[in-house]
Amino acid sequence: MCRNVVVMEPTLKTSIRVRFAPSPTGYPHLGNIRTALFNWLFARHHNGKFILRIEDTDTARKVEGAVDAILDSLKWLGLGWDEGPCFQSQRLHYYHEIVNTLLKENCAYLCYCPPERLEVMRREQIKRKQPPKYDGHCRYLTRQEKAQLEASDINPVVRFRMPLEGETTFHDLIRGQVTFKNSTLDDFILLKSDGYPTYHLASIVDDHLMAISHVLRADEWLSSTPRHILLYQALNWQPPQFAHLPMMLDPDRAKLSKRHGATTIIDYKEQGYLPQAVINFLALLGWSLDDKTELLSLEELIKYFSLERVSKTAAVFNKRKLEWMNGVYLRQLSPEEFAQQATPFLDRDLPSSIKRPLSSNYVCQVMPLLQERCKTLAEVSQLGEFFFLDEWQYDTSLLLSSGLDAKTAVQAIEVALQRLEAVEVWDAISLEGILRPLTEELNLSAGKFFGLLRVATTGRTAAPPLFQTMAVLGKERCFKRLTTALQRIPTLL
């Protein structure tokens, strides 16, 4: 019978080695990447190693393109790895060797139970209001029964022989001492009938062979840790130190859903979030420097990151905070950087009627007017579409939304066109020098007059500053739009 260590205290190792070990059964989402980030920051803070391992042993659920999505997400965020990626599907001989050792030492056994029996067993347990777990049927097979089953065509699984009594206690670096009664744990599967290992076996073997010093993983794996501790003991291996990260919840404190942000990291990239904003935001989901600091550079995160500052309570995802934070980072870009970042989104999202390639010079003139207003790069096309369109439709009634009557609006635009005709240097200063005095001459408030000109030139009641906008649009485009507005106003009578 395998030996059982009751208490596992943490042992400090001199070399920090952590791993991010995603499964390619789906594209990486915020929860996955936060785990990667915390591991990466922990490694960089301690001058350790960050290992990338792809746990691809669940062949039935493997998603095409998921591995590339994992690698691309890490690269986009700047979370480079020091070793890997290594694939568990290429390491099957290690797991088979370990399973054979466990079988020889009577720490594991073959289980021939068909799925139908297991399903009936689970239903009966639930009916009796018992937690569903394997009942140990094959653990107690006689030699004769084993021989009969071995002669059949059943492909058995291999189960770990759990101790039936006692407790397993381990030290979690975030939650402190954690204890589980062994009687609540079942004989879990190590090797599936197809010859592939389960997470429980493969992760322990690889963590040992890769000399992983710390396992930082999601809180959902906390209940699996006693199984892993006992498996380490059976193999006479020293376990790593464990830290289970707090859950991520939506604003209603329910499990994070797609509606509230549980989409893939690639989606956030395509929605126009900057990697540095996503990193900053994710770092604060379960970790904090203090009770007031919200903006931290990557260098600051590396400098200050520690497990002592990781919260035991669940982290609440706040999409508005991410948008605010991304807007801050966008405004910190130089105008040239912002234009460069925004151009791919303009190419992707502006109407196909707009000639490509876009003029880089014109884009550089437009972007500073939008930089202060957008929260994501994907908003740039919607906010600035009117800068690029020659013909477009807008709600003509907006021309009178500031409270002007049609006759006054026509007169105001006609006078504006007359005065603008004489402008030689078409820039914001000259335009303001011509148009602002007209408010008194026309006996109109600045709000009403400029609101009329804004709608006439942009089709919107809210747009970037009027004079800068008209300067970028250019004299020809502004005259054309003001003239079109003159033609549309009479239709409002």
Active site residues: 258
* Residues sharing a CB contact under 8 Å with residue 332, sequence separation 6 or more, in sequence order: none
Contact present, 486 and 410 (Cβ < 8 Å): yes
Report the alpha-carbon distance of residue 470 to residue 181 in Å, rounded.
73
Angle subtended at Cα 484 by Cα 480 and Cα 490, rounded to the nearest 5 degrees: 155
What secondary structure letter does DSSP report for 8? E
Long-range contacts (CB closer than 8 Å, 24 or more residues apart) made by 116-121: none
CA 424 to chain centre: 51
Residue with tokens 């929860």, as numbered in its chain = 31
Distance CA 99, CA 106 (A): 10
Q: How many helices (H) does the chain have, and how many strands (E)?
A: 20, 13
Q: How far, in whole angstroms, is CA 474 from its chain's centroid? A: 41
The total of other beta-carbon atoms located within 10 Å of residue 378's CB is 17
**DSSP string spanning 139-193?**
GG--HHHHHHHHTSS---EEEE---SSSEEEEEETTTEEEEEEGGG----EEE-T
CB 72 within 8 A of CB 269: no
- Per the CB < 8 A criterion, the answer to whether 452 and 484 are in contact is no
Q: With beta carbons less than 8 A apart as the criterion, state whether 240 and 212 touch.
A: yes
